[in-house]
Structures are given as C-alpha cells and as structure tokens.
Amino acid sequence: MIRVLAIVLLCAALAACATATETASLPPPPAPGEPPGIAGMAAGALRADFGPPQFVRKEGQVQLWRYDGDACKAYFFLYPQSGTLAVRHVETDPRGGTMAADASCLERLRARARAVS
C-alpha cells in the first residue's frame, strides 16, 4: 500500500512539473532587420573589418563566425553567395533594441580590430 501511495505521489509531482513547464512562455523573437552594411558582406571584408573570429563553426557550406568582446558577442551567419561566403544574418548578445544585432556592440568589435592591427 505504501509503495502504491509513493508511486501515486511521484506521478502527481511529475504532472505538476510538466504543467508548470507548459505554462512558461518563450521570450519574443528579435525584430527583423540587419544593421546597415552587414548583410551581403563578403567573408574577406568581414575579416578585414572585425579581424579573425574567436570561433568558427562549419556545417556544409554554411559557417558561423563568433566574435567575443568585453561586453558583448557577435554571431555572423555566412552562406554561399555568388561564389563566395557572405553574411546573411548577424546577432549580438545582448541583443539590440530594434533588431537582433546591437550596432554599438558591432562598432566596439570593429574598433578593437582596428586597434590590434
């Protein structure tokens, strides 16, 4: 009898957890749009502006380049375009106020690259 009661209580606890998880909402997606001059930028130009990325992930012909700053990170998504890789999307962490990328973060990362070279 105690074993059956324990199983029933465990099932009730699990059901309560599942219900709590189902009611949690996801944060809203970032507003669409890209900062001026970023979308369509060739990989070579990206490297010239921001320096070498701290991390690169390749999946087939698509690449993710991550740049790490003191106060933010930028994630550039590069896709094949006219025989080369080009930026299709960029996001920063933290996000920008009106789109997924914060322009001030991108400018700080550019300034850092200029200071190093």
Instruction: Domains for the chain: give ranges and CATH numbers.
Output: 31-116 (3.30.1450)
pLDDT of residue 38: 95
Q: Which two tokens stand for residue 115?
A: 């200071």
pLDDT of residue 10: 59
Residue 21 predicted with pLDDT over 60? no
**C-beta of residue 37 within 8 angstroms of C-beta of residue 103:** no
- Between CA 44 and CA 108 the distance in angstroms is 19
Residue 14 predicted with pLDDT over 80? no
Rg (CA), the chain: 22
Alpha-helical (H) ranges within the chain are: 2-23, 43-50, 103-116
